[in-house]
Amino acid sequence: MPTINALLSMQKALQTKRSQLIEIRPYSATTKTSKTISNGTEHIDIVAPEYNLKKIDARIDEITRILFNIDVKIKESNAKTNVDVDFDFDRLVGSID
């Protein structure tokens, strides 16, 4: 079981990976065709997507769910952790006599 610090590092790495996948997604959504004519010769270039769009979407969804679960677990852990403080909150926010 990882520490909160390790989860925060994982969360940051997963956020970066998710952003990268979202960035390449449009390039994997379509096949690009270009046609050039040079000296009477027609040349057609077809550039197929490098990655499977369904696999990219599935990975983005998986990472999104994991990021949500990490956030929930960290918040649950913080809700259970007591912190010893060195001040009297009630006195500080109370009225001044």
Cβ atoms < 10 Å from Cβ of 4: 13
Do the domain assignments include residue 87? no
Higher pLDDT, 94 or 12: 12
> How many residues in total does the chain contain?
97
Do the domain assignments include residue 89? no
| Helix ranges restricted to H, the chain | 4-28, 53-80, 89-93
Do the domain assignments include residue 18? yes
Do the domain assignments include residue 92? no
Domain that holds residue 45: 4-80
| pLDDT, tens only, 57-77 | 999 999 999 999 999 999 999
Cβ atoms < 10 Å from Cβ of 25: 15
Total number of domains constituting the chain: 1
Name beta bridge partners: 38: 41
Task: Taking the CA atoms of 87, 88, 94 and 96 in sequence, report the sign of the dihedral they define.
Answer: negative
| pLDDT, tens only, 78-91 | 888 888 889 888 88
Q: In what helix (H) or strand (E) does residue 33 lie, and over which residues does it extend?
A: strand 32-38
Do the domain assignments include residue 88? no
| pLDDT, tens only, 38-49 | 777 888 887 777
| pLDDT, tens only, 12-37 | 999 999 999 999 998 887 777 777 87
Do the domain assignments include residue 59? yes
